[in-house]
Structure 1
């Protein structure tokens, strides 16, 4: 049996794109070439790797067994290709996923310091909510995730990372700003602007704030932090948000930040697939991240 790297690239791309057309576009190959490579691979292995349904290819159990091994082989191959192109102890490309707050407010500073420390500059960053980051890690589309949401997937490894403090954001002239000590009773009947389903910030509000309220109303659901802050500044409602995310708006005088009635630190997580090959680059990034502290840039 002689399985080629091309066949593995085709297999992984189909697993991620779920169509022959999508894989062909991603690999700059013809659909015929992609179909042939997959057929040859399945023939060599003696197993189908995908279930066909409505022109989509959904990876089956045999394919799921192969995916982490194929990903490792391609990663090792890429490491070999880059080994002599870059000076320093690490080489290759690192695909990082960050949830919204982390990706906008924290990860850029982490990458800046990592680049200075390691000399490595080939990183890509994808920003979305925690649920989408987890999905891409499960399908080996990303190498590492940096998120603030709760993780409920058994296939992902979770390492505690940073912590932040959650606050209530409201307009500077809001009646809540006149209170000396905010209580949950003061938040009753409030109108809230929340992040979308799958967001770690939304999960925090539901678990740690809404659970203490008898009567609250969602007036808007938005998937961008800056949009939420602008709506808060416009007086549409209040929100629960990270102090990292709100610092610039408070400094500009657009919104006010109020401490929650109870001090609850929110945990950030560094996550990756349990079967993901931890290359020297990935190991270096994990160790650096765990020792790293957020600079005082505010």
Structure 2
């Protein structure tokens, strides 16, 4: 059996893109070339790796067994290719996924410090909600995830990271803002501006605040934190967000934070696929994240 790295690259890309057309575009190959490489690999292995459903290819159990091994071989080959192309011991590209709050408020400064200390500058950053970051890690599209949402999945290693504080905020002239201190009962019948399902911020509201309220209404559901801040600043409702996210709006006088008799602390997490090959670069970044946490 003589499996080529080219075949494994095609296999991994098809697994991530789900169609021959999308994989061909990403690989800058023709569709016949992608189909042929995949067929050759399946013939050599003696197993189909995908279930065909119209034009979509859904990875099957045999394919899922191969995916982490293929990802590791491609990562190791990249390490070899770049071994003599970059000064210093750290080579390769690091693919980082961050959920919205972490990605906008924390990760840019983490990467700044990592680049200064390590000299490594080849990283990509993808920002989405926690559910999407978990999905991309499961498909080996990312190397590491930095998220604030609750994660319940068997194939990811979940490592506690930074702490965070959530707050309830509203326009300075909102009726609730006129109270020096509030009880949770005074939040009843409020209009809430919330993140979308799959967001760690929404999950916090639904698990920590909503069960303590008998009557609440969602006024808006948005997938962008800054849009939520602007809606709250426009007086369209109240919101529950990270203090890190709203601090600038509070300093500008557009929002005020409501003091509540409730523990509003939450946890950020580092996520790694349990079968992901941990290159020297990935190990260094994980170690740096953990040390960076201690310095905050």
Deviations 1:131-153 (A, max 9, x none): 00000000001110000001111
Matched position secondary structure for 2:51: strand
Partners of 2:137 and 2:259 in 1: how far apart? 34
CA contact (8 A) 1:88 1:118 kept: no
Aligned to 2:31: 31
Take 1:259 and 1:292, find their aligned partners in 2: how far apart are those partners? 30
Which whole-Å deviations, capped at 9, do the CAs of 1:4-53 have from their partners, x for residues lacking one? 00000000000000011111000000111111100110011000000000
For 2:159, the equivalent position in structure 1 comes to: 159
Give the Cα–Cα distance (whole angstroms) in 1 for the partners of residues 101 and 268 of structure 2: 10
Note closer, same or farther for the CA distance 1:81–1:259 as it changes in structure 2 (3 Å cut). farther
| Distance in 2 (alpha carbons) for counterparts of 1:104 and 1:39 | 42
Task: Determine the C-alpha separation between the residues in 1 that align with 2:221 and 2:295.
Answer: 31
Q: Secondary structure at the match of 1:43?
A: helix
The two structures, once aligned, show a CA RMSD in angstroms of 1.2
Q: Is the 8 A contact 1:143 1:272 kept in 2?
A: yes
Mark the CA change 1:294 to 1:26 in structure 2 (over 3 Å): closer, same or farther: farther
Structure 1 equivalent of residue 96 of structure 2: 96
| 1:184-231 residue CA offsets vs partner (Å, 9 max, x unmatched) | 111111110000010000000010001100110001000000000000
Give runs of aligned pairs for residues 24-103 of structure 1, distance below 5 A: 24-103=24-103
Q: Which structure 2 residues correspond to residues 5-20 of structure 1 after superposition, within 5 A?
A: 5-20=5-20
SS at the partner of 1:209? Answer: helix
| Count of residues paired in the alignment | 296
Q: Is the 8 A contact 1:109 1:294 kept in 2?
A: no
TM-score normalised by L of structure 2:
0.98
Give the corresponding residue for 2:3: 3
Q: CA deviation at 1:257?
A: 1.5
Distance 1:20 1:260 in 2: 53
Measured in 1, the distance between the counterparts of 2:194 and 2:294 equals 26
Unaligned runs of 5+ residues in structure 2 are none
TM-score (norm 1): 0.97
Aligned partners of 1:260 and 1:272: how far apart in 2?
35
Tell me which moved more, 174-183 or 160-169: 174-183
After TM superposition, what 4+ stretches of structure 1 lie above 3 angstroms from structure 2? Answer: 293-296
Map 1:91-240; keep pairs closer than 5 Å. 91-240=91-240
Worse-superposed segment, 22-31 or 176-185: 176-185
